[in-house]
Structures are given as structure tokens and as C-alpha cells.
Amino acid sequence: MPRTRRVAAEKPAQDDDALRRAAAAISILVVDDDDLVRSGVVRSLARLNYRVLSVASPAEALALLRSDNQRVDLLLTDIRMPGAMDGIELARVVRREFPRIAILLTTGFAGWEATAGDERILYKPYRLAELAAAVRESLAAASRRSA
């Protein structure tokens, strides 16, 4: 039989379609104090077909989550932010108050592993594929925790 690239190309396309359909049902809250970074993350997640909400601070994130107006499946938060609460503390509060929400921390600085506990850290800069994999892994881990 002759070799063809078509079969190999079709399988990932089918997988991509399935991932895009599944992503459409997932809502992600992005928290980052840097407007440019936050808008870039929002665009990346939208390209992956996720529904995305975004805020600039942990206080805004908690207000949104506590308002019960929006369903959030995953919190994607920067670690280092100005103010009384950083991303690590936000993750702790969310874990305590909203245990079903998956959490993904992100930072451009090394050395946060000890303070992040069980939460996954995605280091900046990252590629779209790395973001997609980290989101899927964080959602899967939250699903295992709640099972």
C-alpha cells in the first residue's frame, strides 16, 4: 500500500474537533493585573474555544465567584500581583470556598513550587499547546479530587 500523510493528518483533526467541542462547555476565569498579559491569555484561551472571563485582581475574582452569576470551571491566576492578596492566597481561598473549581497558577518567576502546594504552575512564557495541556491537566486533576 502506498504511504499517505492524509490518514495521519485526519486523526489529529478529529481529536482537535473533539477537544474544541469539549472546551466550549468549560468556563475559565483569568486573573492577571497586567492588562496586556491578561488580554493575551484571554485570546489564547478563546482560540482553544473556551469561554473566558477575566479580571485584574484577586478581589475582583472573588467578587465574581461569590456573586454566583457566572459558572467557573477553572481559575487561571498569575501568582505575583500587587495588593493584599497574591495568586497563591487567591488559590487557597478558592480551594476552600469553591472546591470543585480547578486551579492553574502562572508566573514568569521561578521558585514558587514550595508555596503552590498541589496546584500546577505554568511558567511564562508558554506556547499555546503548553497552555492547552496545562488547562486539560488541571481540569482532570480537579475532577479526580472531586470524585
Domains of the chain, residue spans: 6-146
Predicted confidence (pLDDT) per residue in 37-73, tens digit: 999 999 999 999 999 999 999 999 999 999 977 799 9
- Distances from the Cα of 41 to the Cαs of 12, 48, 53, 111, in angstroms? 24, 11, 11, 22
Mean pLDDT of the region 10-19 = 59
Handedness of CA 136, 94, 31, 115 (dihedral sign): negative
Helix axes 128-146 and 35-47, enclosed angle (nearest 10): 80
Percent of the chain past pLDDT 90, that is, above it, reads: 68
Return the minimum-mean-pLDDT range out of 17-31, 60-74, 125-139. Answer: 17-31
Helix (H) or strand (E) holding 100: none
Place of cell 502562572: 106
Averaged pLDDT for residues 94-123: 86
What confidence tens digit (pLDDT) does each residue in 112-124 have?
A: 665 667 789 999 9
- Which CATH number is correct for 6-146, 3.40.50.10440, 3.30.420.40, 3.40.50.2300, 3.50.50.60? 3.40.50.2300
